[in-house]
Chains A and B, each alone.
Chain A
Amino acid sequence: MATADHRRRFLGSTERGLGALLQSGSLTGGDVRWTALAPSVNEALTAALDRLGVTVAESRHEGESHLATALSASTVVDSIKVGAWTSSVIRLLGAVTNLSVAHSRTFVRGSGPVALDLARRLVAMGARVVLTGDEPVQLLTAAQRGFTIQQGPIPVPAEVVFVFDTAESVRPLSGADFAPGGPVVAIDAALPVRATTSTSPTEASSFGRAGLVPLAAGAREVALLDAAIFRDSTFDETATDIETAFALHLLALATDEARRGNAAFDPDLIAAADAALAREVLA
């Protein structure tokens, strides 16, 4: 990978920052398997600890067993993963369709973090975006931020060219959701489950474009793009990096707590690890 050095630098920075703490001797013991984590994070975390000469006893610190929970609660991890995902989706759309984001009439279905981040980036590129969904409070928040919103189930208008379906507070998209009109690309943009494997689009469909498959939608010609299937490595590698860095911060903090005699896992450590990670990323 062309930018592996760049990624190693990032994690290396985390390791250097935490090395003294982790090597303090408070983490000792036998083998450890971070089975609750994504395999890539497990591997990266184990490798990072190996480089630091640290082995960890799984039973020694409760913080370890809380890692998976903590990762899902980290706002920093979530924010960076969402950003990496939405950027990847937009790039994939460009690569697969060769269509312009600027000037496009675009629907973003959903009102959660992925929907808002997608909408923000698309608007900044010049797209005319409408956020649609079923969750009124989130939609109101989006409207307050200046997004154009439409509430409730409405058909995709004739002039819309892109429909992003985020699966956030919105029912699944179906062929019946499209009003008659011109060709439209529907993008399944739900944040992917990391365990799912991805592949590069290679085989051209009836549209002549690898990655686009027809979706039955009455009179409307709809080309479906599953972004999770055709994602490149950007999202997964970014997620692995940031989750591993967060895990290292959390372990360091838990270790410090244990050294002070606080063996029980304190949920506040998640916020503390988030703050430490955020400071590192910003630096």
Chain B
Amino acid sequence: MSDRIVDPSLWHEGQAKIEWASRFMPVTRSVAAQLKESGSVAGKRIALVLVLEPKTANLALELAAAGADVSVMCGASNTRDDTAAALERAGVAVFARSDASPQQDRDFALRLLDGRPDILVDDGSSVTRLAHTERPGVLDGLIGATEETTSGLRPLRVMERSGELRIPVLAVNDARCKTLFDNGYGTGQSTLFTMLDLLTVPLDRSHVVVAGFGHVGRGFAKHAAALGARVTIAEVDPVRALEAVFAGYAVDTLEHAASTADLLVSATGIAHTIDVQHVLALPEGAAVAVAGGVDQEIAIDALVDAGASRRSVAHAVERFTLPNGRSVLVLDDGDCINCSAGEGNPIEIMDLSFGVQASAVDYLARSGGELGNAVHLIPAEVDDRVARAKLASLNARIDVTSAAQRRFLDSWQHTGRRAKAAEGSDA
């Protein structure tokens, strides 16, 4: 029996969930069909390092159907064992157990790399970076990688600047069809709903404070307001803060806003966004959590070092008793709550992201190793391809630029203002 998954007999339940997701994933299916027709990924070894749940399984299966040799790895906290079993049964090599220790997770990642993938699809860039430190030989055969997240791209760009990045990376996260919808809508819905599922309180009239007004922060704020919350945004970027003002939100410093928060959420993807002083400022009984995120985005270690004690009070809910005598609720250990305590982003949203991923894989496969060792933006045609596929599935029609409009756009002599004859003008 394989040690790579928990229980192969769980496949039936996993398959039903995969089929449910498949009903709402027309974009991934459409793009993968194009890959199959072109043969671009046929025979390519593609390693997926993504949250292992039914939507990811659909991406894996569609790539496999397009002719790729697909393997999947996922850390324990983000692994659904029934999905892993269904994928394994379908012929995809899976390295993912929900009961894996951190050491086992690392071993799985190394075994995935030892399969010498041609293309690596990463989420958080942990395996891309691991390849650089522990399996540098694998990089020689790697056409490139794609990266799904904001927090994963940051270290890769640091590596690029320092000359340590040895492969081309496509910034899938930065594609419009990913960021605008996955970060902007999917994470907002899934993280907020998961938090409220854990807290079992309505949000009406609550004060929700969101650190960060990037795409995730906006999506979170939008959904919180829809459920009746008063929202305050904390930002370090003055332009984003101004955007928040124009969107109708209050803007304040995090520490000041925290003092009246019922729910304090970080949406920055930066460690120590919610630091000790912010938690200490919270009123008794407030909750604190992370939308998306990185380790120590809530400075839990520093909080404990400062004298806070913690105890579990419900599933994924801990009560921290603070040195100032107050107590607050920390959700899911400050983890990426929608994946670890929920089911990840909604299916149709991930369908867009995975449409971009499949297109990015296609782009890498076709690149013939011509791309430099850098973080590359996704070409605009990838976004167009994905958006058109989604619009087609919705029977939504769009216009095309007319010839007159194109002439105007291509001209430098006409500004669009009505031309006035020099003679006879009353100007």
Contacts and interface: CB of A to CB of B under 8 A. Distances in A.
Contacts of A125: 189, 222-223, 226
Contact of B226 (A6, A84, A103, A124): A124
Nearest to A223: B20
A152 interface: no
A72 interface: no
Interface in B97-155: none
Given A90-B227, A94-B190, A125-B222, A2 B329 contact: yes
Given A90-B227, A91-B193, A126-B185, A99 B347 contact: yes
B19 interface: yes
A148 interface: no
Contacts of B15: 208
B200 A3 contact: yes
A6 B206 CA distance: 12
Contacts of B21: 98
B285 to A, nearest CB: 5
A99 B348 contact: yes
A62 to B, nearest CB: 33
A170 to B, nearest CB: 24
Contacts of B54: 98, 208
B13 A2 contact: no
A155 B62 CA distance: 34
A32 interface: no
A2 B313 contact: yes
Interface in A238-283: 238, 281-282
A2 B317 contact: yes
B348 A183 contact: no
B196 interface: yes
Interface string A229-242: 00011100110000
Given A207-B16, A208-B17, A95 B343 contact: yes
A62 B102 CA distance: 66
Interface string B165-196: 00000000000000001000110011001001
B314 interface: yes
Interface in B309-361: 313-314, 317, 319, 327, 329, 342-344, 346-349
B194 to A, nearest CB: 8
A100 B225 contact: no
B129 to A, nearest CB: 30
Nearest to B395: A159
A108 interface: no
A91 B190 CA distance: 9
B270 interface: no
Interface in A58-83: 80, 83
A5 B327 CA distance: 10
A209 interface: yes
B18 interface: yes
A88 B197 CA distance: 9
Which bracket fits the contact residues of B? 35 or more
Contacts of B317: 2
Interface in B210-261: 222-223, 225-228
A86 B196 CA distance: 13
A197 interface: no
Contact of B346 (A6, A100, A159, A234): A100
A102 interface: yes
A3 B284 CA distance: 11
Contacts of A5: 284-285, 327
A101 interface: yes
B202 interface: yes
Contacts of B181: 102
Contact of B199 (A2, A103, A124, A207): A2
Nearest to A209: B20
B204 A83 contact: yes
B24 interface: yes
A209 B19 CA distance: 10
B394 interface: yes
Contacts of A238: 201-202
B203 A95 contact: no
Task: Choose among B13, B327, B346 the residue with the greatest number of A CB atoms under 10 Å from its CB.
Answer: B346
A9 interface: yes
A4 to B, nearest CB: 9
Interface in B371-408: 394-395
Contacts of A2: 198-200, 313-314, 317, 319, 329
B23 interface: yes
Contacts of A126: 185, 222
Contacts of B193: 90-91, 94-95
A187 to B, nearest CB: 15
Given A1-B314, A238-B202, A204 B285 contact: no
Interface of A: 1-3, 5-6, 9, 80, 83-84, 87-88, 90-91, 94-95, 98-103, 121-122, 124-126, 159, 182-183, 204, 206-209, 221, 232-234, 237-238, 281-282
Given A103-B185, A208-B15, 19 more contacts: A2-B329, A3-B285, A3-B329, A9-B285, A83-B228, A84-B202, A88-B202, A94-B189, A94-B193, A95-B197, A100-B189, A103-B394, A126-B185, A159-B394, A204-B13, A208-B16, A232-B200, A233-B200, A238-B201
Q: 10 closest pairs, A vs B, by CB?
A: A208-B16, A124-B226, A100-B346, A208-B17, A2-B314, A102-B185, A2-B317, A84-B202, A94-B193, A125-B226
Interface of B: 13, 15-21, 23-24, 54-55, 181, 185-186, 189-190, 193, 196-205, 222-223, 225-228, 284-285, 287, 313-314, 317, 319, 327, 329, 342-344, 346-349, 394-395
17 contacts: A2-B200, A6-B285, A83-B228, A87-B203, A90-B227, A98-B54, A99-B24, A101-B346, A121-B227, A124-B222, A208-B15, A221-B23, A234-B196, A234-B200, A234-B202, A238-B202, A282-B205
